[in-house]
Structure 1
Amino acid sequence: MLESSSSTNFVQHFVSREVSNKERLLCLFRRLRNGLVLVLTPLFFGQMLNWEGPEWKCAYCVCIIAIYWMSEVMPLAVTAMLPVVLFPLVGVLDANTTAKEYMNDTNFLFIGGLIMAAAVEKCDLHERVALSVLRCVGSEPKWIMLGFMTVTALLSSFISNTATTAMMVPIGQSVVQQLISSFQHHPTNGERGRLGCKKMATGLVLSICFAANIGGTGTATGTPSNLVMLGQLNALFPKVDGSLNYVTWIFFAYPLMLLCLGVAWATLVWFFLRDAPEKDEAVTEMLKTRYNELPRMTYAEKSVFVCFCILLSLWIFRNPGIVPGFGVFFKKGAYTDATSAMIVAFLLFILPSEKPDLATYIKKEDLKKKGCLMDWKTMQETFPWSVVLLLGGGFALAAGVKESGLSLLIGNSLSSIGHLPLWILQLLTMFIAMIITNICSNTVTASIFVPIVATLAQKAGHHPFTLMLPTTLASSFAFIFPVGTPPNAIVFGSGMVKVSDMAFVGGIISMELLVLTILYMNSIAYLTLPLLEFPSWAVIANSTMQT
């Protein structure tokens, strides 16, 4: 026995040593690859610096940043800071102008929205909303899936899709375990039923990440790529009107988001739930039990909900469009959606998280114990500062592309396809964006492609929104690879999804949503946005660039 044990230990030691050597070699290979990419990329594109015109110098910077982003040789946020270094050195923009792009109005809108989302997570209001909806969907697997997708998309419209997925996946796993447990109590179920259970489990957790990606398209702050488009819109067209703001984005995008959600649900039901077990009342009881076990709605939850309603009201009634909003009382540009977001953010740092009681505020130590709805410690722990820098880098990149004339150069080079029908241009631009967004972040994809398609639409005589909006939406349609977006990675990390399942169904849903978006852009979208006429602000910008 002793000899057998020692031989076993030797084998385990040998295997662990071999694994360790493989990890070291892999780590060494990655460092070598990153080093080569870092050094060779600027040298490879260096010839551009000798070509005449600032547009080629800007193209040199864009190529370096794009390669670094796609290869991830550095953290994305670190690469996003390169414009501050490269643009002034090569003469595209001065350092002060470049740095200002990192903290513009759109970025503060994003910051305010994230503070609101962090407050919702801090008081666990999102879990109460999720369970309150899920307990009402019934016990049949397809309706359970629809309930999960609806809740996930709704939450993802207003808070981080990563946080939403991280919260919903454990609930989904509990439901799957209950369904499988109920199945095992029925001995009449055969091999086909067990296979159906496995496919059902895969479909349910996949539906969560797909719904999180789709839900973010519904609001301007739902995903960073939407804010990239809004921020670059002002940079590319300085005289743009207010036809696209937070409210008009909801009217335009939310119906499309719901349609995309319905198509994705029907596709997932077809592929994963055809052989699923019958409805199980135990699942409904489990969800009801979890909801009933929640403590009574706290003062903090009620306060955050009121603040959330105040924020939505400020966004909606600033410029509702149907009637004059309170925004008419301010000079143009004095009050924006970012102003509303920051006002509510200040409130969250001021309002108490417990019901005020003056008797407890007499002692100094009692006063210190009373927290606020939001605090800086939570900000430090949960706030994605890297995304703020990533957004800023995209805005700086867009400003450099415009000021250097690179966007006009690209537009002229693409003018040969400008004569194609609009729906074909939308098909091409969306298809390219959807390919890139599955290997890059949606923020990076939007940062690179939005200025290009804006110029293409301008040169072709189409309203810039007709290409900018579908390209932006396509940047969020990352359904194929686990690395495409954090929700995909979270679901893949659950161990219930194979890469082949995600790639196959994700590819089909991507194509379905591409076609649906094009049909929507050429029909219903005309009811919410003035897309049929070429806007005056685009004509002015176009003529300005040509002079």
Structure 2
Amino acid sequence: MRRSAILIFALFLLAMILLIPSIPLEIRKGLAVLTFAAVLWITEAIPLAITSLSIPVLAVLLGILDVKAAFSSFAHPIIFLFFGGFALATALTKYGLDKFLAFKIVSVSKGSLFGTAILLFAATAFISMWISNTSTTAMMLPLALGIAGTVSADSRLKTFLLLGIAYSASVGGIGTLVGSPPNGITAANLGMEFTDWLKTGLPAVFILFPLLFLILYLYFRPDLKRKVTIENFTIEMTKERIGVLLVFLITVTLWLFSKKVAAFIGVHKYFDAVIAVFAVILLFA
């Protein structure tokens, strides 16, 4: 409660300084950012490093600097895109929301092993769009092994499920700019934004995903006519979990509409990195 009150107070001061008519606008902007950061540094309402990262974000949003200049003292903006993606992934994993999401998707199959396999691979691909391929695979493999164990799986079915998880994670990682580090590096060199990458990445996922399922099925010929029992996985939706979900949804929405939002506030490049750092700030707020 105290932390929230301090954050609101800092934002109030920032707004009030921006509204002082007797001071030139550019000076008001700089003074507002300085006051906001000073309040949070003195009170330590949020970690000092996060307060430091809020300064370039505010500088961009207020039109003081462009994104590259604002982050130049830290690192290239694309690094902060990775940073935000990793922070979101860590938050989802910490509160078990990744497993909860995977279970909810897989449980739709209602016991059909064929449907479970497709949904398991689809869930892996979807989660891998936002979390690293390695982390997604590590999370989903135990679920695949558990499913295989409930139907007394032979080696062909087990291999089919495990390789399907691995390949689905790789395919899903192509879908978004934050799905895999090479995506961000390539996009930075090509000058692509989040939505630009989606136009190429998502079609690739939709083409490759059914192909990987078909190839694996034809090669291993697993018996997918059996029924499977999926162990129930429930979590209490605490305010922390709800908060993380909201931050995730807000971040994804901003990434999807980043071009329009960036144009509205007058930012020309690397706005996706600003959104990523903004997400990190929200997670600590």
Question: Where do residues 79-478 of structure 1 align in structure 2 (5 Å cutoff)?
Answer: 103-180=75-152, 197-234=154-191, 244-274=192-222, 276=223, 278-280=225-227, 283=228, 286-287=229-230, 289-291=231-233, 294-320=234-260, 325-333=261-269, 336-350=271-285
Query: Does the aligned pair in 2 maintain the 1:145–1:265 contact within 8 Å?
Result: no
2:183 and 2:224 map into 1 onto residues whose CA distance is: 39
CA RMSD in angstroms, aligned pairs only: 2.1
Distance 1:153 1:343, change over 3 A: same
Q: Shift of the alpha carbon at 1:277?
A: 5.9
Distance 1:101 1:264, change over 3 A: farther
Higher relative contact order, structure no. (Cα contacts within 8 Å, ≥ 6 residues apart): 2
Q: Shift of the alpha carbon at 1:102?
A: 8.6
Q: Shift of the alpha carbon at 1:253?
A: 1.3
Query: Does the aligned pair in 2 maintain the 1:110–1:221 contact within 8 Å?
Result: yes
Q: Secondary structure at the match of 1:206?
A: helix
Runs of 4+ in 1 over 4 A off after TM superposition: none
Query: Does the aligned pair in 1 maintain the 2:177–2:197 contact within 8 Å?
Result: yes
Q: Secondary structure at the match of 2:168?
A: helix
Query: Does the aligned pair in 2 maintain the 1:172–1:204 contact within 8 Å?
Result: yes
Q: Secondary structure at the match of 1:220?
A: coil
Query: Does the aligned pair in 1 maintain the 2:171–2:208 contact within 8 Å?
Result: yes
For residue 37 of structure 1, what is the aligned residue in structure 2? none
1:198 and 1:326 map into 2 onto residues whose CA distance is: 51
Q: Secondary structure at the match of 1:306?
A: helix
Distance 1:172 1:330, change over 3 A: same
TM-score, normalised relative to structure 2: 0.70
Q: Shift of the alpha carbon at 1:326?
A: 4.9
TM-score, normalised relative to structure 1: 0.37
Distance 1:298 1:227, change over 3 A: same
Identity score, percent: 26
2:151 and 2:159 map into 1 onto residues whose CA distance is: 13
Larger radius of gyration: 1
Distance 1:330 1:205, change over 3 A: same
Query: Does the aligned pair in 2 maintain the 1:141–1:273 contact within 8 Å?
Result: no
Aligned residues, how many? 214
> Where in structure 1 are there 5+ consecutive unaligned residues?
1-99, 182-196, 235-243, 351-547
Query: Does the aligned pair in 2 maintain the 1:142–1:269 contact within 8 Å?
Result: no
2:111 alignment partner AA = S
1:168 alignment partner AA = M
2:95 and 2:176 map into 1 onto residues whose CA distance is: 23
